[in-house]
Amino acid sequence: MTDLADRTGGPTPAPAPSVTAPAAPSSGHVTPVVDVAALGEQLLGRWADIRRQARTLAAHPELHKIEGMPHTEHRRRVFAQLQYLVENNAVHRAFPKSVGGEEDHGGNVAGFQELVIADPSLQIKAGVQWGLFGSAVMHLGTEEHHRKWLPGIMNLDIPGCFAMTETGHGSDVASISTTANYDADTEEFVIHTPFRAAWKDYIGNAAIDGTGAVVFAQLITKGVNHGVHAFYVDLRDPVTKDFLPGVGGEDDGVKGGLNGIDNGRLHFTHVRIPRTNLLNRYGNVDADGTYSSPIASPGRRFFTMLGTLVQGRVSLDGAAVTAAKMALTTAIRYATERRQFNASSATDEEVLLDYQRHQRRLFTRLATTYAAGFASEQLLEKFDDVFSGRTDTDEDRQDLETLAAALKPLSTWHALDTLQECREACGGAGFLIENRFGSLRADLDVYATFEGDNTVLLQLVAKRLLADYAKEFRTVNFGVLARYVVGQAAGVAIHRTGLRGVAQFVADTGQVQKAATAIKDEASQRALLTDRVQTMVAEAGTALRGVNKMPQQKGAALFNKHQDDLIEAARAHAELLQWEAFTEALGHVEDPGTRKVLTWLRDLFGLSLIEKNLSWYLMNGRLSMQRGRTVGDYINRLLVKIRPHAVDLVDAFGLGPEHLRAAVATGAEKTRQDEARDYYRTQRASGTAPVDEKILLARQARTAKPQAG
Amino acid sequence: MTDLADRTGGPTPAPAPSVTAPAAPSSGHVTPVVDVAALGEQLLGRWADIRRQARTLAAHPELHKIEGMPHTEHRRRVFAQLQYLVENNAVHRAFPKSVGGEEDHGGNVAGFQELVIADPSLQIKAGVQWGLFGSAVMHLGTEEHHRKWLPGIMNLDIPGCFAMTETGHGSDVASISTTANYDADTEEFVIHTPFRAAWKDYIGNAAIDGTGAVVFAQLITKGVNHGVHAFYVDLRDPVTKDFLPGVGGEDDGVKGGLNGIDNGRLHFTHVRIPRTNLLNRYGNVDADGTYSSPIASPGRRFFTMLGTLVQGRVSLDGAAVTAAKMALTTAIRYATERRQFNASSATDEEVLLDYQRHQRRLFTRLATTYAAGFASEQLLEKFDDVFSGRTDTDEDRQDLETLAAALKPLSTWHALDTLQECREACGGAGFLIENRFGSLRADLDVYATFEGDNTVLLQLVAKRLLADYAKEFRTVNFGVLARYVVGQAAGVAIHRTGLRGVAQFVADTGQVQKAATAIKDEASQRALLTDRVQTMVAEAGTALRGVNKMPQQKGAALFNKHQDDLIEAARAHAELLQWEAFTEALGHVEDPGTRKVLTWLRDLFGLSLIEKNLSWYLMNGRLSMQRGRTVGDYINRLLVKIRPHAVDLVDAFGLGPEHLRAAVATGAEKTRQDEARDYYRTQRASGTAPVDEKILLARQARTAKPQAG
């Protein structure tokens, strides 16, 4: 390749960008050894104790998924498990102290994230009950509502639904069609489903268990539609479990996964509820039908009410990282034991993990898991800062929403990709449910589209990046992007503050358009990754200039022409956030040996990103062709360096056999291999081994030859 | 982007390569319209009638998968379905005429490929019974064996196993450890499992149903091991279904999918079988223990015996394409009905399929499905040519093996990717099993690693490419590659003939190192794709020069350093084969309008491949930076052109509702949308619609303004 390369003539390499951060401490003479215990502690993060408690709980057999169980039975099991969580004080953390909670929002989510280890159905059913249904009453209701319903929700006397999504409106909450008409004569709201597309759909707890629900509907009083509000509605008789008059529904049936949850559909035919069942923190209706709200703007009010949804995204982000850790621990351990070929030969063969391809498959994903994990911890800290009220400005909330919208898509897709790659890396054994890959993959599949479709979320991030880049995009609310943005995902209000300071940076174009001379050091990686985000956003901003003043259809068409670019820009931004989180975490690693190994892993992450988008760096003159050609080789060298530390790096995840519960992660393969090798060794020693026909023929040929010659 | 682009200074565009094929017929004034019926007929291919029959059969409700059924019940159902296939004359085609078959190998596989429509478990269980167990008796046994066992196998009196794989040796058949020692005193073979790793594993029919088995074991007689041979062994009492003395096993339990099949493990403790139970077509043992074979070389004999395994790969390749067709038909139809946002607004919104990102997600995969489908048909024709004996030289068999090893990995991975993308593209509805994505994905998961692990197969292809490039690699049988190559996958004997004539092309380097000026025309696409394969192979060949003469460990290390490159070269080769198959198929399209649309689709496939590897084309001077920057735009323009024909292109797959059986592919969404729109239209007309608060505020603002001013 070198010969050809020299003739192609890329741009001359320029000096490294000057936007370098201080170099990491030199690790030249440090012995690369991972301090597993210390690294493990760092990975557990701010809520280490709660995570440990949750993992202890998740190790209880009562909470484990039983594979192959029919979905009807699995649902009953998971419902009983929720009760078990209640009894073990695992569900109260987020709730108000007034009802026995701790108002510990970060801790609550940290514990929740670990539940995926037991059974994702349990995790998500708990999320429906306490994270959505309970949270809606808590965040959208007022004190009377808390007193009335939270105790029953917390102790599971009231299993309930978060009835937002409709069949006809997945991501578009603003357009839901269920209505809540206020009747001043009786001081009641009338909840009504006008047509089939307005049925609530995919609602957890709806098919069987839910007796209560928070129903989202258009609040109409005195002839005015005040937009989407939340109403507390009784669904079923708590004893007979029959639907109450006017309420109906059906079972969503078997799903691709999470079959321990009874998702279903709900519809309402002129169901009357007391006026006071409106969860009225952000909007109230007086007895006479007069509407009032502490938030004057209907748009801002809507986004505020939906803002509590961010908790779901934060939760899924961390849960996805946990699942990836489980898969990699199992696959990497197995790969250090499995000798694929010829146990009967006298020589020691490499184990699977010594093969370059196997290293590439697993280590690149290990690096991404570390990056996603550090980013997830930062997101959770931000979440806790906001929800604790410590730093709870509009700007903080918006940053939180954007951060969650950026990270959740990447981590959930990464979990699916990792589970699949690990399953394939374990071959036929990977397909057996006893090793859990297929089970976890099926259950986590929907994480990519619920609590905000990943593709939609990335468009929200893109809109935020555009808004930071140019004032004109701040108010964009039409076109392709806007159509998504008004939706549920758009619980995210997107405004001013630039997460990575795009606008000021691109003004200084001199820094970014030079080809980097080196790709190995931290500063160069940062410059390359940052520059790409900034340039992509600036280009999209330029291309979309004036879109706001165009007729709606023309503007929408222009947006649509750049939809793919916008999504890619958002993805690049999210990847940069992960890289920054990893890099920041390196600064907190005290042990030099550990830092050395982790730095290789961070470099592997950064260079994998650069390799993935290499054509962009080349076409835009950010990397010379000569430099570009070194990326793959350097990645291969990092794989070799990381190889001796791979087991330490997964051991630091701190997942024991009670968490992994995978037959190939138990050392069974090593036992089998040792037994086979002993057998052949003994046979050879005894002289009873049969002669191989090939060897016999070779001997005969040697004997025959001199005679013939 | 254009501004920046001009400053980066890539190499000057050179004239187009001169290796152009004749231009396709001009389609300048042709109206692009798909003749769905004619295209559908072309897609059905040479065995159209058999495929139609199989689809009719697959539409029978008796054969359909019932979702959510416990695996024990599902197994019973699938066993009963096999009986249904027998009764409907769907299993005899491949077998000898002497036992009532038709000796129609291509037709047999064509029919088998369509069975995935009914239930993949049914397909694979049928594959185990007739494609593996029955085929082994047919191909490895002789006439007496045919008479004795084939009738019972065909009519399912003898459900049986293909007991090859062992726990310790997934892809490495040559190293299996089960032994068959000949005892001349009793004229029996003694089948024995020496240790746990030698248990047969993942064996279909082993857990419950199998009463017979073809067991692969090392044949040892007179102190010589003649290598792996196949033996017919009775497993269970046909009445009581109890294991016979010396036979044992266990259930593999629930799997990630295919739970209608009873996979399990088997072990043998000095089980004695008559000498004549050796399937002795390629190796015989006389009563006195003298071994003889029509094939003198043990290596060649082994590869010949395993050569019949290619049928499994050919079958899976086509089945994977069929599954991708199902997913795309459902997702594309739904995307033409689903309006994501705001049915209450007065204007007509775009449907999902009008969004650029949605088009990219689905149309690129549609293009790949067409390419994979045409390639699959060519593979099946090659298979039929060889197995019918029409063109059955060693060279033909080797070409067939290489072709199957190249195409099966790409099509099975493509099916998984497509099923997942389609599931996500349908959002929450995609996660419901009523739309089948999750079910099919789970069942097809293992297609990526069984009948030859995809990664291993690609390495076989790489070895063939290397061998074609340079004589020295023909005999390579050590190192990373060789360790895989001696395995099951290495049923593939890899030799001389170059599938794409690499060697002669690279000699003429003048043609390939110029930057292509255009990327849109067929000739340029071919030149770019071909050149990449050739260059990658040549580079690997150069890097590995002399590896054959190195000490084993050093040679293995050198191979390992290039393992990733070799696999990527094999993938590039397989993609080129798909592109060539698509292009060849264009030549058989008679209707100009159809050809025009299909040419866009072929271009989309070709350009997507070029985009994916754009950095390679840039770094190696095959595309200028200016040209490189046009690839994405051109792809986006193709998406727009293909959009009006998307439904026609999936309709041509010919899959009816009885095959798709997906709730969102029935038009239900359109009905719901129409109902919702009618509701709002009526409401607006009646004047009873509530006023939106936002509009009210805007009105008030307008009224207030003049007063204030």
For B655-692, the DSSP string reads: --HHHH--GGGTTHHHHHHHHHHHHHHHHHHHT-PPEE
Q: Determine the Cα–Cα distance for residues A398 and A363; give it in Å rounded to an integer.
A: 34
Helix (H) or strand (E) holding B273: strand B271-274
Q: Which residue of B has its CA nearest to A455?
A: B357
Asked whether residue A6 is domain-assigned, the answer is: no
Q: Which of residues 327-366 of B touch A (CB under 8 A)?
A: 340-344, 347, 349-350, 354-357, 360
Which residues sit opposite B507 in a β-bridge? none
Q: Residue B288 corresponds to which tokens in the numbers above?
A: 């006195």
Q: A453: which chain B residues are within 8 Å (Cβ-Cβ)?
A: 424, 427
Same domain assignment for residues A589 and A682: no
- Asked if A250 reaches chain B (Cβ–Cβ under 8 Å), the answer is no
Q: Determine the Cα–Cα distance for residues B436 and A235; give it in Å rounded to an integer.
A: 30
Q: Do the Cβ atoms of B449 and A428 come within 8 Å?
A: yes
- Shortest Cα distance, chain B CAs vs residue A34, angstroms: 25
- Asked if A7 reaches chain B (Cβ–Cβ under 8 Å), the answer is yes
Q: A450: which chain B residues are within 8 Å (Cβ-Cβ)?
A: 428
Same domain assignment for residues A161 and A279: yes
Query: Is the separation of the CB atoms in A467 and A474 below 8 Å?
Result: yes
**Better-scored residue on pLDDT, A370 or A497:** A370
Q: B414: which chain A residues are within 8 Å (Cβ-Cβ)?
A: none
- Shortest Cα distance, chain B CAs vs residue A541, angstroms: 11
How many independent structural domains does chain A possess? 3
Q: Do the Cβ atoms of A355 and B563 come within 8 Å?
A: yes
Residue B194 has pLDDT above 50, yes or no: yes
CB contacts < 8 Å between A and B, how many? 357
Report the CATH number that the domain containing residue A581 is assigned in CATH.
1.20.140.10
Residue A487 has pLDDT above 60, yes or no: no
Asked whether residue A225 is domain-assigned, the answer is: yes
Q: Residue B480 corresponds to which tokens in the numbers above?
A: 């990373």
Same domain assignment for residues A379 and A262: no
pLDDT at B437: 98
Length, in residues, of chain B = 709
Mean pLDDT of B598-608: 98
Which of B651, B679, B700 terminates a domain? The answer is: B651
Residue A21 has pLDDT above 60, yes or no: no
Q: A571: which chain B residues are within 8 Å (Cβ-Cβ)?
A: none
Using one digit for the tens of pLDDT, what is the confidence trace for A600-618?
999 999 999 999 999 999 9
Q: Determine the Cα–Cα distance for residues A230 and A309; give it in Å rounded to an integer.
A: 13
Of A436, A429, A420, A438, nearest in space to A337 by CA: A429
Judge residue B648's burial from the number of C-beta atoms within 10 Å of its C-beta, 0-12 exposed, 13-18 middle, 19 or more buried. Answer: middle
Residue B483 has pLDDT above 80, yes or no: no
Same domain assignment for residues B452 and B570: yes
pLDDT at A594: 98
- Asked if A182 reaches chain B (Cβ–Cβ under 8 Å), the answer is no
pLDDT at B438: 97
CA distances from B25 to B18, B42, B126, B300, B588 (A): 19, 19, 44, 47, 12
Q: Determine the Cα–Cα distance for residues A433 and B414; give it in Å rounded to an integer.
A: 23
Same domain assignment for residues B493 and B524: yes
Amino acid at B216: F
pLDDT at A1: 31
pLDDT band at A446 (very low <50, low <70, confident <90, very high): very high
pLDDT at A308: 79
Q: Determine the Cα–Cα distance for residues A244 and A270; give it in Å rounded to an integer.
A: 12
Q: Determine the Cα–Cα distance for residues A698 and A266; give it in Å rounded to an integer.
A: 77
Same domain assignment for residues A152 and A251: yes
What is the average pLDDT score of chain B?
88
Query: Is the separation of the CB atoms in A136 and A308 below 8 Å?
Result: yes
Mean pLDDT of B185-213: 97
Q: Which residue of A has its CA nearest to B623?
A: A8
Q: Do the Cβ atoms of A615 and B615 come within 8 Å?
A: yes
Mean pLDDT of B162-184: 90
Q: Residue B484 corresponds to which tokens in the numbers above?
A: 């895989």
Q: Do the Cβ atoms of A560 and B354 come within 8 Å?
A: yes
Q: Do the Cβ atoms of B679 and A194 come within 8 Å?
A: yes
Which residue pairs from B495-499 have beta carbons closer than 8 angstroms and sit at least 24 positions apart in sequence?
Answer: B495/B394, B495/B395, B495/B398, B495/B464, B495/B467, B496/B395, B496/B398, B496/B467, B496/B468, B497/B395, B497/B398, B497/B399, B497/B468, B498/B465, B498/B468, B498/B469, B499/B399, B499/B402, B499/B403, B499/B464, B499/B468, B499/B573, B499/B577
Percent of chain B with pLDDT over 90: 76
Residue B666 has pLDDT above 60, yes or no: yes
**Better-scored residue on pLDDT, A693 or A551:** A693
Which residues sit opposite A632 in a β-bridge? none
Which of B622, B651, B680 terminates a domain? The answer is: B651
Q: Determine the Cα–Cα distance for residues B490 and B474; give it in Å rounded to an integer.
A: 14
Report the CATH number that the domain containing residue A106 is assigned in CATH.
2.40.110.10
Asked whether residue B69 is domain-assigned, the answer is: yes
Asked whether residue B2 is domain-assigned, the answer is: no
Mean pLDDT of A148-167: 97
Same domain assignment for residues B487 and B552: yes
pLDDT band at A580 (very low <50, low <70, confident <90, very high): very high
Asked whether residue A281 is domain-assigned, the answer is: yes
Percent of chain A with pLDDT over 70: 87
Residue B256 has pLDDT above 50, yes or no: yes
Which of B610, B627, B651 terminates a domain? The answer is: B651
Asked whether residue A658 is domain-assigned, the answer is: no
Q: Residue B106 corresponds to which tokens in the numbers above?
A: 């291509």
pLDDT band at A555 (very low <50, low <70, confident <90, very high): confident
- The conformational region for residue B253 under phi > 0 = left, psi -120 to 50 = alpha, else beta, is left
Same domain assignment for residues A263 and A400: no
Q: A349: which chain B residues are within 8 Å (Cβ-Cβ)?
A: 483
What is the average pLDDT score of chain A?
88
Residue B496 has pLDDT above 80, yes or no: no
Judge residue A122's burial from the number of C-beta atoms within 10 Å of its C-beta, 0-12 exposed, 13-18 middle, 19 or more buried. Answer: buried
Using one digit for the tens of pLDDT, what is the confidence trace for A447-471?
999 988 999 999 999 988 998 887 6
- Asked if A625 reaches chain B (Cβ–Cβ under 8 Å), the answer is yes
Residue A14 has pLDDT above 80, yes or no: no
Residue B12 has pLDDT above 70, yes or no: no
pLDDT at B509: 35
Three-state DSSP class for A342?
A: coil
- Asked if B621 reaches chain A (Cβ–Cβ under 8 Å), the answer is yes
- Asked if A55 reaches chain B (Cβ–Cβ under 8 Å), the answer is no
Range of the domain at A673: 667-708
Asked whether residue A79 is domain-assigned, the answer is: yes
pLDDT at A177: 95
Q: Determine the Cα–Cα distance for residues A219 and A185; give it in Å rounded to an integer.
A: 17
Q: Determine the Cα–Cα distance for residues B660 and B334; give it in Å rounded to an integer.
A: 12
Residue B626 has pLDDT above 70, yes or no: yes
- Asked if A428 reaches chain B (Cβ–Cβ under 8 Å), the answer is yes
Q: A220: which chain B residues are within 8 Å (Cβ-Cβ)?
A: 690
Percent of chain B with pLDDT over 70: 87
- Asked if B290 reaches chain A (Cβ–Cβ under 8 Å), the answer is no
Same domain assignment for residues B362 and B434: yes
Amino acid at A422: C
Q: Determine the Cα–Cα distance for residues B456 and A352; give it in Å rounded to an integer.
A: 12
- Asked if A196 reaches chain B (Cβ–Cβ under 8 Å), the answer is yes
pLDDT at A488: 29
Q: What single string gives the DSSP state of each residue in B417-441?
A: HHHHHHHHHTHHHHHBGGG-HHHHH
Q: B9: which chain A residues are within 8 Å (Cβ-Cβ)?
A: 11, 621
Query: In chain B, what are the helix, strand and coil shares in percent, each to the nearest 5?
Result: 60, 10, 30
The contacts of residue B501 (CB under 8 Å, 6+ apart) are none
pLDDT band at B704 (very low <50, low <70, confident <90, very high): confident
* Sign (positive or negative) of CA dihedral B52, B53, B54, B60: positive
Mean pLDDT of A609-638: 94
Three-state DSSP class for A67?
A: coil
- Asked if B423 reaches chain A (Cβ–Cβ under 8 Å), the answer is yes
Asked whether residue A679 is domain-assigned, the answer is: yes
Same domain assignment for residues B84 and B209: yes
According to DSSP, the β-strands at B179-183 and B212-221 are parallel
* Sign (positive or negative) of CA dihedral A151, A152, A156, A161: negative
Q: Determine the Cα–Cα distance for residues B633 and B335; give it in Å rounded to an integer.
A: 23
Using one digit for the tens of pLDDT, what is the confidence trace for A416-444?
999 999 999 999 999 999 999 999 999 99
Q: Do the Cβ atoms of A341 and B252 come within 8 Å?
A: no
Residue B267: what are its φ and ψ, rounded to 5°? -145, 155
Same domain assignment for residues B63 and B193: yes
Q: Determine the Cα–Cα distance for residues A454 and A316; give it in Å rounded to an integer.
A: 12
Same domain assignment for residues B564 and B690: no
pLDDT at A348: 59
Q: What single string gives the DSSP state of each residue in B592-628?
A: HHHHHHHHHHHHHHHHHHHHHTHHHHHHTTSS-HHHH
Using one digit for the tens of pLDDT, what is the confidence trace for B58-105?
999 999 999 999 999 999 999 999 999 999 999 999 999 999 999 999
Report, in angstroms and rounded to the nearest whole number, the Rg of chain A calculated over CA atoms. 29
pLDDT at A190: 98
pLDDT at B706: 56
Q: Which of residues 508-527 of B touch A (CB under 8 A)?
A: 513
Q: Do the Cβ atoms of B676 and A354 come within 8 Å?
A: no
Residue A15 has pLDDT above 70, yes or no: no
